[in-house]
Amino acid sequence: MLEQVKYFEDFVIGEGRQTVGRTITETDFVVHAGHSGDFFPHHLDAEFCKTLPFGQRIAHGTMVFTIGVGLTATIINPVAFSYGYDRLRFVKPVFIGDTIRSRVEIIATEPMEKRPGFGRVTERLTVTNQHGDTVLVADHIYMVERRP
């Protein structure tokens, strides 16, 4: 993990980076159920899932989001604060054995009128699988200090 101070003025639209990949395992499914308390059979009952269109267990949306975001957690910016996410969408299902990676890209920057000294930076998160298909998107909103 690296620390890197990056002020509002340092963010450039179009800048981005790609993470390493991670294979989503049956273990992740079971851990996420136990962590979230969501034991819906869509995620945990292989027999039931044979009767559904996808024919197999489907990852919790909150897990794809959690791991997709987690993959990006490699650089600490001490002057940026997570504010929330807009337009989080579960685009395609993730199955046991899929390998996902995340791409983040700055898509908007604007001063915060109500919060002088801060700017609002929007970073698009795109999670893809091993086929190159997008499985999840979300727009991460940061409050970032302006350069002093």
CB of 117 to a second copy, least distance (A): 15
- Residue 71 makes contact with a second copy by CB under 8 A: yes
Q: Which is nearer to a second copy, 9 or 35 (CB)?
A: 35
- Single out the residue of 97, 115, 134, 147 in contact with a second copy (rule: CB under 8 A): 97
Q: In what order do the strands lie in the sheet with 16-23?
A: 16-23, 99-111, 118-128, 134-145
Among 7, 15, 31, which residue's Cα sits nearest to residue 124? 15
Q: Is residue 21 part of the contact set for a second copy (CB under 8 A)?
A: yes
89 interacts with a second copy by CB under 8 A: yes
Could you say whether residue 4 binds a second copy (CB under 8 A)?
no
Binding segment toward a second copy, per CB under 8 A, in 8-16, 31-39, 104-112, 119-127: 31-39
Taking residue 137's Cβ as centre, other Cβ atoms within 10 Å add up to: 17
93: contact with a second copy by CB under 8 A: no
Give the burial string for 66-101 (b: 16+ CB within 10 Å, else e).
ebbbebbeeeebebbeebeeeeeebebbbbbebebb
Tokens of 32: 């996420």
Which amino acid is residue 62, in one-letter code? T
Contacts to a second copy by CB under 8 A: 1-3, 19-23, 25-41, 44-48, 57, 61-63, 65-67, 69-71, 73-74, 76, 82-90, 97, 99, 130
